[in-house]
Amino acid sequence: MKIKVKIKTLLLISTVFALIVVWGVPTITMGIAKYLDSRGSEKASLFYEKYANNRFANNIEGKYLYASSLVRSFNKYTIYNTGWGGGENNSPEDISNAKEILIDNLKDQPKTRTDEDYYIKSYNLLMEALIATGDVGELRYWIQFGNSSSLEDLNYYGDIYESFLFYANRDYDKAQEIMDKYKLIKADDYLFNILQGEILFMQENYDEAVVYFEKVHNTHYSKRRDSAFGSTGYINRGWWIKDEFQKMGYGDNKVKGRVIYDGEPLAFVEIFINPAYGGFRSGGESYYAITDENGEFETVGLMDGTYDVGIGIEGALLTDKVMERSSYQYLDLSGNGGEIYFKFNNTMKITTPKPGEVISGDTFMVSWEEVEGASYYRVEPVVFSQPFEKSGSSFRSAIADVNGNLNIKDTKAYFNINRLSNLISGITYDGEDYIIGANAVLGIFLPEIEYPIVVNAYTEEGGLITSSLALRTYYDQIASVRFGGELSEGEKLILNQEYPQAIEYFENMLNEDPSNLKALNYMAKIYGLGWKKGEKDLEKALNFANRYSHIANDSQLIFEIARLFSIEEIKEFREVFKEILDDNQDNNEINYYYARYYIAIEDWESARDAFSKYESYTPEQLFLLNMYFTDYDKAIENLLSDGYYLSRMKSSRVIDALSSLSDNKPITPDLQVFNDFLLKLIKGSIDYKEGYDIYHSTTRQISDQNLKTILYEIYLDRHWDTRY
């Protein structure tokens, strides 16, 4: 049977089909992309790409939307002495692809008003990407491109970015000269107000700067992710200048420095400064300067004080970089300004193992390339709280090789899995009942779990030169080991933090086989750590650890349990504790724990002597004990050593006070009150409420101004001034 179709019907079908292809498909693709984008899905970029490559779609609009989906914002990765992290998760590949797409867009000629809008948006996004990645040469080229364009808006943006370049290079007069051309006609423009505010801020015209930053806040607060000059940290600048900046600025101390990578400058890196509170602060609006094309910077003036200086940098630049750290210090300013330098180096390469390498047997090897200037290396496995997904919180801690060395001189080392399984580290607690985290009990190198391996290279003084782990990295791309076998049912119960069931499981196992080392190991840790609040039982822990020690002929586990003792518990079990120490003379930490033993029995001189022999770092108790014995010169040495923790106690105010006390010892009544205070600190930690009361009662009884200065800095350093 033949079916007759009229010509008109065929034409209609063809027309409908053509409309679907020309209009429907691009429209649907764009709709899906925008929906996924609104949901924060990374898949949105796939549909933007399809739209951009559809020959019936608006080509300039499509390419811009695709590029902007690859680079969502330029929220800075922040690096301070006290911590680092954050930022948008841009990859170098995505930023590079976005640049190529935008440059390709700018080769077209806009034909419609919509084309022109997206053409200009493409230019702006390209300039943002060039600033974020510090590409000065390309930035200059595209500034000239904007200046020579026939489009008036592009001329304006070319001028704005040229003004920014003058501003970054601290040529504020030339920057302002360009801005003056647009004061009347661009008074509401986002970029104009930000840059005008920054120019005024860097010239210390703070009241005038606030006017422009408040305009930015009022017009763009709901668009916090909007990038400006390669950053998203401008929204709250006005509030910050009127509030936080008042506590630090308006001084005479200008901080200078440089940011470099392998000797080459890093341009347009933001410089952040916060008070030395001892905690990690994000950067955001609190930046004081930006590096010029030579990587150099100079801040506005700060008041005398102790500060944590950090940087804000595009995270995509850090996937192959490690920041060299010779020491972790706050910057102490007292009238003459200061200098600070940030130096990045390439990551080092681990040659063995390869990512995901499966290990059989009880020993494995790690090898790496030699690093120039390195005195020793340390190997650190990465342990995740959710190990199968390699997610959640993580920790790294150096492990000793088969010879017991943490500091490894060679470029390879061998590690014994069984011995490392005894270590207790990565201690965390969950919830109000303080349920112990599974990693502390299970240890490392369990079967079925992959462990990334990191190697760090250090100078003789302990300064970090470089690492195999970049500041921003993807763990599935680095060296790692996986061990054969399967997790036991008991290990799975611990992993799920089902401790009562795990205890029952291992008790049954020990009833059947009293010499089972795994069961003894886990039971010792469960009771030594206390699987939840009130469940710590050191007698049981020591019993299990002793049985393990006799069977395995290895006292490492019992030493690990001893490390968990508080000062009061050492007092209670002092004979056992001393015996454990005497049996572990080859342990790297032995002098530290002898010192704790002497503190427990109140033998202050022996405690000081033991702490002074400890080489890993300079314990705070040694500094406190040297003050207790009025050995103020030694106390100064402690503070100035690289091994002393990051502390505002290193400030010139404390050093000067100690020097004065060395020349003129305090009167006996003051000294007695001060020493009572020191002993409270030496014996154990004091919470902030108790510390607040102790500080005020102590300082009221002391007349010596140098002692008062030290007391006050301890008060601030321990956050006893913080009211919750």
Q: Which of 452, 485, 518 is the last residue of a domain?
A: 485
Match 């030699």 to its residue by tokens.
370
What crossing angle do the helices spanning 620-628 and 668-683 adopt, rounded to 10°? Answer: 160
How many residues in total does the chain contain? 724
Same domain, 386 and 335: no
Which residues have C-beta within 8 Å of that of residue 275, sequence separation ≥ 6?
247, 248, 305, 306, 307, 308
Contact predicate 711/702, CB 8 Å: yes
Amino acid in position 610: A
Residue 95 in domain: no
Contact predicate 79/310, CB 8 Å: yes
User: Which pTM does this prediction carry?
Assistant: 0.85
Token readout for 558 is: 């019992």
Q: Total structural domains in the chain?
A: 4
Rounded to an integer, what distance in angstroms lies between the CA atom of residue 594 and that of residue 584?
11
Same domain, 332 and 402: no
Q: What is the DSSP string of 133-147?
A: TT-HHHHHHHHHHHH
- For the chain (724 residues), the mean pLDDT of every run of 10, in chain order, is 54 46 49 53 56 57 90 89 85 95 92 92 96 97 96 96 98 98 91 96 96 85 70 84 89 96 96 81 76 98 93 94 84 91 96 92 94 96 86 87 93 92 86 92 89 95 93 85 90 95 97 96 96 94 95 90 93 93 87 96 97 92 97 97 89 95 95 96 85 94 97 92 70
Q: Which of 447, 470, 485 is the last residue of a domain?
A: 485
Residue 692: give the domain boundaries.
Answer: 617-724
Residue 136 in domain: no
Rounded to an integer, what distance in angstroms lies between the CA atom of residue 58 and that of residue 111?
11
CATH of the domain at 239: 2.60.40.10
Q: Which of 485, 504, 529 is the last residue of a domain?
A: 485
Residue 361 in domain: yes
Contact predicate 502/435, CB 8 Å: no
Token readout for 702 is: 């002391």
In this predicted structure, what is the pLDDT of residue 575?
94
Same domain, 179 and 314: yes
Same domain, 186 and 294: yes
Same domain, 79 and 202: yes
- 713 CA to centre of own chain: 26
Same domain, 361 and 477: yes
Q: Where does residue 180 rank: exposed (0-12), middle (13-18), buried (19+ CB within 10 A)?
A: exposed
Which residues have C-beta within 8 Å of that of residue 471, sequence separation ≥ 6?
77, 79, 84, 318, 321, 322, 323
Which helix (H) or strand (E) segment is 66 a member of? helix 59-70
Which residues have C-beta within 8 Å of that of residue 182, sequence separation ≥ 6?
156, 159, 160, 189, 192
Same domain, 286 and 159: yes
Which residues have C-beta within 8 Å of that of residue 67, sequence separation ≥ 6?
97, 98, 101, 102, 105, 122, 125
Rounded to an integer, what distance in angstroms lies between the CA atom of residue 198 and that of residue 36?
36
Same domain, 369 and 272: no
Rounded to an integer, what distance in angstroms lies between the CA atom of residue 341 and that of residue 347?
19
Helix (H, G, I), strand (E, B) or coil at 310: strand
Same domain, 185 and 309: yes
Residue 233 in domain: yes
Residue 335 in domain: yes
Task: Calculate ∠ Cα 405-558-568, nearest 5°.
Answer: 110
Residue 215 in domain: yes
In this predicted structure, what is the pLDDT of residue 18?
43
Same domain, 394 and 411: yes
In this predicted structure, what is the pLDDT of residue 724?
56
In this predicted structure, what is the pLDDT of residue 588?
80
CB atoms within 10 A of CB 465: 21
Residue 519 in domain: no
Same domain, 275 and 243: yes
Contact predicate 573/596, CB 8 Å: no
Same domain, 167 and 310: yes
Residue 362: closest CA among 276, 268, 264, 483: 483
Q: What is the 3-state secondary structure (H, E, C) of 642-685?
A: CCECCCHHHCHHHHHHHHHHHHCCCCHHHHHHHHHHHHHHHHCC
Residue 596 in domain: no
Rounded to an integer, what distance in angstroms lies between the CA atom of residue 527 and that of residue 541?
5
